Structure 1
């Protein structure tokens, strides 16, 4: 009996360690966690459902170990997919169209639509009691790189509002934009949360407008992978989609304290108050769709914006949406591996 007791503790410790290593999830999935090399476009609360899925263990529950890095641009995220240094990328769905029309060896596909509006906000250097888009005439705006979704949404909004003679600076790297503005460059700046609210809180800028509200529905951010990766790893894609959908569902039901605690590790130095303010701002403009499916209407809107901004020729418009979009996984959310 003593000998059996002597070895009981070590055996129990070993068994617990095995459970940790193999990643047995709450839903009963077991086996070693599958590593997914993931590239986010930038760090923003605009992508809160993804961070929730990480912090609340929804990816691990699905048997996935998500290794995340920040690409600082959809173009860089797409390049990582093509080079094989990323398995899944978060970015603008327009990248799939660009790559498809290059007729290269690899193609990309959207498999989950994360956001339904642009996530940037226009801030002014001087306080404007009643902002009008015409206030931008003759002014300088620090904006995003040419061909990026926020840059095109800004340009299309200016066209929609009939505003001309606006100098939009598009050659400042995204991590340096806020610093350039606070150093005195530009009259306005286009930023995502929580950086936008941080500048306002510090008294370095004033809120002027929401690009998401001004432009309207737009499929700005998607999850993308190469067609080959999706074909070879359908179970990984399905579990990834399930986890993100669970993150969005949790975000809509959780308390303020739970949300702030879940997101805080991804935004060090940002107060919980600003985190919650950013989340509420995105919620109020219906940023995160309850159904994360990229629809035909949204796809048409996307291509119209690309053509309007001169990055896609009318004759290059993709008629068969399935060439760059696969929504089959979204339609099976929660049903996989049951």
Structure 2
């Protein structure tokens, strides 16, 4: 796990000017927005970093001040206290906040795909997890989330550990490379950073995670309900800039500029450009909508139901919320994705 320093950064008029946005436009029309994030990585919020570097926020009349905090709990506290206008909490803590009566709304699903995935080598014949019967699955640790994730997938298929498949603890990231190369493992349960490390070392992977297990989406954007109602222009402009940034980041031809934008925000992420490239490629996949026709940021009820059922069954939530439809909105998706 790479440790990143605390980072606080500001999209200032001097930086915006580099993108060709007239300073007069920024001065006359800009609105200040504090965006609070759960960790200091710019790559995790790469569409935002790109929107900053390319001047997309300024085009929408926004001056975005981004502050890195320590986890989703701190993000939710900052939003509740009015110390931030938009934040990027994870779905689980967000649901917990709603259960406590906090009137906050999820506005943009940044990471439609789960942060965990079951992968095989790109050239492997295996297309589905059920084809791994009798095979060895690599995991980072014996009691980590990746083991539970794999058990859930195989359990759903009626496959039993020790009978239909087995685990081999091979460690995280680079250590898994050796497991694949020696033929010790046939598949691996990887986090986003693990897959990036493997790819950066020349081992191309293919994701075979079943669709229903990809719905446990990661962090997205949220804001207090009263702020949204009072500032719909800010929410619309922010999302438009982010979607434009996402499209820019998804174009392989832009990778060097994307890394530069991430490094401007967090210099550490520019130190190993090969790794940053691999990680950005994984993040882009994770942040691409399942159905691009519905647009970036779109949310569906089924995904929220899956999250709630998981939290209730684990005891993290005492009971289901009375109306899941009330906790999120797709109100701005069409405008965000319009040309």
Interval containing the TM-score (normalised by the shorter chain) = 0.5 to 0.7
Query: 1:302 maps to what in 2?
Result: 307
Query: 1:311 maps to what in 2?
Result: 316
Structure 1 residue 238 displacement after superposition: 1.9
CA contact (8 A) 2:33 2:84 kept: no
Asked if 1:262 corresponds to 2:266, the answer is no
Deviation per residue, 1:261-306 (Å, 9 max, x gap):
2234423113275357436754888487625221233333332333
Taking structure 1 as the reference length, the TM-score comes to 0.64
2:152, 2:255 → 1: CA distance?
A: 33
CA contact (8 A) 1:242 1:333 kept: yes
1:60, 1:117 → 2: CA distance?
A: 29
Q: Closer, same or farther in 2 for the Cα pair 1:56/1:238, shift >3 Å?
A: same
Asked if 1:197 corresponds to 2:196, the answer is yes
Match of 1:274 among 274, 278, 282: 278
Query: 2:242 maps to what in 1?
Result: 244
1:151, 1:234 → 2: CA distance?
A: 42
Q: Closer, same or farther in 2 for the Cα pair 1:306/1:123, shift >3 Å?
A: same
Query: 1:107 maps to what in 2?
Result: 103
Q: Closer, same or farther in 2 for the Cα pair 1:98/1:156, shift >3 Å?
A: farther
Structure 1 residue 221 displacement after superposition: 3.1
Where 1:114 maps in the other structure, the secondary structure is: coil
2:158, 2:308 → 1: CA distance?
A: 21
Q: Which runs of 5+ in 1 are unaligned?
A: 1-15, 170-176
2:115, 2:238 → 1: CA distance?
A: 23
- Equivalenced residue count is 296
Query: 2:9 maps to what in 1?
Result: none
Q: Closer, same or farther in 2 for the Cα pair 1:310/1:59, shift >3 Å?
A: same
1:101, 1:67 → 2: CA distance?
A: 29
Query: 2:79 maps to what in 1?
Result: 81
Q: Closer, same or farther in 2 for the Cα pair 1:321/1:201, shift >3 Å?
A: same
Flag the structure with larger Rg. 1
